[in-house]
């Protein structure tokens, strides 16, 4: 009986067959690994963009509701990242009757790092808000705190 493949005397694979299998596996890996890495990068970028959109929406809710109103002009200000993430109490609260009452801020659900930045999938976010006269009002840990 004649088989389609020749075997060595011990019944193992020939060196050519082993090399062909290794070549095929190398080719398969060289195609799939870059695709997997680029898919992961696209997912990380999409998560960062979603987080930025969430941050913008939270900031607009805070400003529109005048949750933070330091100058008491009835027009809300934006909150620092520490305030949005719940790491620091908001600078001031404005209530409809003119008093100060704690109003819960919508949360940007990301943990802050030691330097006051939020990290999402390897991308770091930091906020700088304009202060009086357009100068930077801070936004990092300990900066701009009143």
Please, which pLDDT band fits residue 93 given cuts at 50, 70 and 90?
Answer: low
Average pLDDT over residues 113-129: 82
Question: For residue 110, what pLDDT is reported?
Answer: 77
The C-alpha atoms of residue 84 and residue 107 are separated, in whole angstroms, by 5
What six digits make up the tokens of 62? 């805070």
Region of residue 78 (phi > 0: left; psi between -120 and 50: alpha; otherwise: beta): beta
Question: For residue 142, what pLDDT is reported?
Answer: 44
Helices marked H in the chain:
15-64, 81-84
Which of the pair, 74 or 101, is modelled with greater confidence? 74
Which of the pair, 19 or 110, is modelled with greater confidence? 19
Question: For residue 101, what pLDDT is reported?
Answer: 47
Domain boundaries, the chain: 33-138
């Amino acid at each position: 009986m004649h088989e389609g493949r020749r075997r060595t005397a011990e019944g193992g694979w020939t060196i050519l067959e082993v090399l062909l299998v290794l070549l095929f596996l190398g080719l398969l890996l060289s195609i799939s690994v870059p695709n997997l890495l680029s898919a992961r990068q696209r997912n990380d970028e999409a998560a960062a963009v979603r987080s930025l959109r969430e941050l913008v929406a939270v900031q607009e809710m805070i400003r529109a509701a005048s949750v933070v109103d330091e100058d008491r002009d009835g027009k809300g200000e934006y909150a620092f990242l520490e305030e949005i993430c719940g790491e620091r109490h908001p600078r001031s609260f404005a209530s409809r009757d003119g008093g100060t009452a704690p109003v819960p801020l919508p949360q940007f659900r990301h943990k802050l790092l030691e330097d006051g930045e939020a990290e999402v999938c390897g991308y770091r976010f930091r906020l700088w808000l304009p202060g009086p006269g357009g100068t930077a009002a801070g936004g990092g840990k300990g900066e701009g705190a009143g």
